[in-house]
Amino acid sequence: MYDGWKIIIGLIVFVLIVTLPFTMSIGRDYIQPKPSIDTPEIQKMEKKQCIEPKQYMREAHIKILYSWKDYATREGKRVYVASDGKTYTVSLQNTCMKCHSNKEKFCDECHNYVNVKPYCWDCHIEPKVGGLK
């Protein structure tokens, strides 16, 4: 091996780059987000349940929102039938944000934790807590 030192240095650099995300997080405390469901609309509900079960909404809410976007804009469908048979209007602003009106304490809490930047608010009007700002 004439240039063995170059290969060894290259391997060391590669290993450092691959392990960097893991080594940078050693010793840090991560606090799992707890999105607030304390809104006036939710407090009025006798049974506090979203359109689908809680765990499913945590794992797949974006899939529902993407399918709603396609249903509403491409297929013209405006009614969603949930797994329990109830029907809901296909609308982020009028269905989801009706109950989850505090975007900062509900949506942003988890999205910031996982460092995602959803583009929902590029088209939709962001709800303002406490009226107009």
Cα–Cα distance measured from residue 111 to residue 58, given in angstroms and rounded to the nearest whole number: 11
SS3 breakdown of the chain: % helix, strand, coil, rounded to 5?
A: 50, 5, 45
Per-residue pLDDT of the chain (133 residues; tens, 9 = 90+): 678 889 999 999 999 999 998 888 787 777 888 888 888 888 888 888 899 998 999 899 999 999 999 999 999 999 999 999 999 999 998 899 888 888 888 889 889 888 888 888 888 888 776 544 4
pLDDT of residue 105: 87
Q: What is the largest CA-CA distance in the chain?
A: 76
Q: Is 122 helix (H, G, I), strand (E, B) or coil?
A: helix
* Nearest residue to 83 (alpha-carbon basis) of 53, 112, 55: 53
pLDDT of residue 133: 43
pLDDT of residue 85: 94
pLDDT of residue 10: 93
Identify any residues that bridge with 80 across adjacent strands, giving them in sequence order. 88
DSSP alpha helices (H): ranges in 25-119?
Answer: 40-44, 54-73, 97-99, 107-113
